[in-house]
């Protein structure tokens, strides 16, 4: 019989790429979706007819239990979260409820209703926060710098505790930033590529950004969902860093994006807006994915210059329609 998977956060960037991957591998895929008055299914266009959507919410235990009972999953991927760091400073308790306690609710649901299922938790490089070592790997101490970061830290430890207490096959993927044309417009990479496309098409004159000196290890999202799947194919559960081991500043990312669109002097278009600065910043992140390479045979291949090209091209196409 084919395998069954339940994905929370299925309508997002990672959830939609993962749904496509699992459908292509012959899984029966269930997705947990939060009820919205205007549902956003854009990213699911390619697989919508082939997956099953179940209403539910990470803040509601009964809907989680129901989704697990209904889908009877072999694999559960918990990708849902309040995932925007900036918002977590404005909505700290909501962020903790969804991105921290929500993980415990998912683990409880699995423990009670599908204890044989393998569980993937979307952990994050934001756990490292004020970084203690460079590059960061699975043994680097954590120092979160936002409510998002400390909520995710709770989820990370909940996974380890359920593994140790109840023998669940539960793994943390400590993913560094991973982007794509499906990235939400509020995140800096997409804000830049969308802004550049607007300027190139004469729809805008400038782009407001926050901390230009922030440095990130940016990879390409479809490659990272493959890594998530590989983690759940291992005999033993564990925790893995997925990253490129290269890093760029926001300024460098912006400069490359303007260059792709034919502008040499990116500074002319960019102004710094203090409102986009964070109360506590994660200044730099770079991950060491050696364990994932060795145990999962996983490697990131797309680097920032290529990623920027894909994202700018997609934003130009979205805004002007397909080029002939
Ligand atoms: O794109 P960002 O908002 O992503 P951030 O905060 O690194 O978090 C993302 O990656 C994490 C993985 O490490 C995920 F866990 C998390 O859910 C999310 O997907 O910001 C990146 C950097 C920050 O240092 C920010 O201060 O870019 C800086 N930045 C500069 N100008 C900006 C802007 N960020 C945003 N969002 N918008 C700006 O205009």
Atom 17 of ligand 1, nearest CA residue: 83
Give the distance (Å) from ligand 1 centre to CA of residue 253: 12
CATH, domain 4-178+220-242, list 3.40.1690.10, 3.50.50.60, 3.40.50.720, 1.25.40.10? 3.40.50.720
Residue 37's pLDDT band (cuts 50, 70, 90): confident
pLDDT in the model for residue 324: 45
Q: Where are the domains of the chain?
A: 4-178+220-242, 186-216+247-285+303-323
Residue 313 token pair: 């091209």
The strand pairing partners of 31, in sequence order, are 7, 53
Atom 7 of ligand 1, nearest CA residue: 177
> Is pLDDT of 321 > 80?
no
Secondary structure (3-state) at 11: coil
> Taking the mean position of all CA atoms in its chain, how far away is CA 48?
20
**Over the stretch 91-147, which tens digit does the pLDDT of each residue have?**
999 999 999 999 999 999 999 999 999 999 999 999 999 999 999 999 999 999 999
Ligand 1 atom with minimal separation from the 122 CA: 15
**Over the stretch 218-271, which tens digit does the pLDDT of each residue have?**
999 999 999 999 999 999 999 999 999 999 999 999 999 999 999 999 999 999
pLDDT in the model for residue 323: 57
Atom 6 of ligand 1, nearest CA residue: 85
> Is pLDDT of 281 > 50?
yes
Q: What percent of the chain has pLDDT over 70?
A: 99
Residues classed as catalytic? 124, 126, 148
Span 82-90, mean pLDDT?
Answer: 98
> Is pLDDT of 14 > 60?
yes
Ligand 1 atom with minimal separation from the 209 CA: 39
pLDDT in the model for residue 36: 86
Q: What is the mean pLDDT of the chain?
A: 97
Span 56-81, mean pLDDT?
Answer: 98
Beta strand ranges found along the chain (DSSP E) = 4-8, 28-33, 52-55, 75-78, 118-124, 169-175, 178-179, 207-209, 215-216, 219-220, 239-242, 248-249, 270-272
Span 6-14, mean pLDDT?
Answer: 98
Report the pocket of ligand 1 as residue ranges, CB < 6 Å: 83, 85-86, 124-126, 176-177, 186-188, 191, 209-211, 214, 216, 250, 276, 278, 281-282
Residues 186-216+247-285+303-323, CATH architecture? Alpha-Beta Complex (3.90)
- Return the higher-pLDDT residue of 1 and 186: 186
């Amino acid at each position: 019989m084919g395998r069954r998977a339940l994905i929370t956060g299925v309508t997002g960037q990672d959830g939609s790429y993962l749904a496509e991957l699992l459908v292509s591998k012959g899984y029966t895929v269930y997705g947990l979706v939060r009820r919205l008055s205007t549902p956003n299914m854009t990213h699911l266009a390619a697989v919508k007819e082939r997956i099953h959507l179940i209403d539910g919410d990470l803040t509601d235990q009964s809907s989680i239990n129901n989704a697990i009972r209904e889908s009877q999953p072999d694999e559960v991927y918990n990708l849902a979260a309040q995932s925007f760091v900036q918002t977590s400073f404005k909505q700290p308790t909501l962020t903790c409820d969804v991105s921290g306690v929500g993980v415990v609710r998912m683990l409880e649901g699995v423990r009670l209703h599908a204890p044989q299922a393998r569980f993937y938790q979307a952990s994050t490089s934001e756990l490292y926060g004020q970084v203690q070592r460079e590059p960061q790997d699975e043994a680097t101490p954590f120092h979160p710098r936002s409510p998002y970061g400390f909520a995710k830290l709770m989820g990370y430890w909940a996974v380890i505790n359920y593994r140790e207490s109840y023998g669940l096959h539960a793994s943390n993927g400590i993913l560094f930033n991973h982007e794509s044309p499906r990235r939400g417009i509020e995140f800096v990479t997409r804000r830049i590529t969308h802004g550049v496309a607007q300027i190139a098409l004469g729809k805008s004159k400038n782009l407001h950004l926050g901390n230009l000196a922030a440095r990130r290890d940016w990879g390409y999202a479809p490659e990272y969902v493959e890594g998530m799947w590989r983690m759940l194919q291992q005999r033993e559960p564990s925790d893995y860093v997925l990253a490129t081991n290269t890093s760029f500043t926001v300024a460098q990312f912006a400069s490359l994006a303007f260059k792709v669109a034919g502008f040499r002097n990116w500074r002319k278009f960019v102004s710094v807006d203090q409102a986009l600065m964070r109360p506590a910043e994660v200044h730099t992140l770079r991950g060491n994915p050696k364990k994932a390479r060795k145990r999962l045979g996983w490697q990131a291949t797309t680097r920032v210059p290529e990623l920027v090209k894909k994202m700018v091209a997609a934003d130009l196409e979205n805004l002007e329609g397909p080029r002939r």
